[in-house]
Amino acid sequence: MPQANVIYLGVKGSVVALDRATGTEVWRTRLKGSGFVNCVLEQGQLYATTRGEIFRLDPTNGQIVWNNPLSGLGLGLVTVGTAVPSQAVPMEEKRRQEQQAAAAGGGA
């Protein structure tokens, strides 16, 4: 399924991909623990952080491509920044921006 048709959620140690139109689950990948997961889609690459680790997942099927335990840094929240900050937008903010752009494009 094309990335534009999917929304990615971080929930209780997992990343879940949902079909944007129907809300149907496309895939689910269990990461570490059962806590907060932060997801970022940047230039077609899906990154998720939880329990002090970062993972890169294949956005089409949720397979873990790699992970880095960030050894020695503890279990705190991890924030992701990239060389292209305008494209490193948390999923909900990206969705909001797309909705605003669509409303402006088809506006009255």
Domains of the chain and any CATH numbers: 3-105 (2.40.128.630)
Distance, first Cα to last Cα, the chain: 32
Per-position pLDDT tens, the chain of length 108? 657 789 999 999 999 999 999 999 999 999 987 778 989 888 889 999 888 888 999 999 999 999 988 766 656 655 665 565 544 455 556 666 778 888 887 655
Is residue 53 within 8 A of residue 70, CB to CB? The reply is: yes
Q: What local confidence, expressed as pLDDT, does residue 87 receive?
A: 46
* Radius of gyration, alpha carbons of the chain: 15
Cα–Cα dist 82/84, whole Å: 5
Whether this model's pTM surpasses 0.75: no
Is residue 44 within 8 A of residue 85, CB to CB? The reply is: no
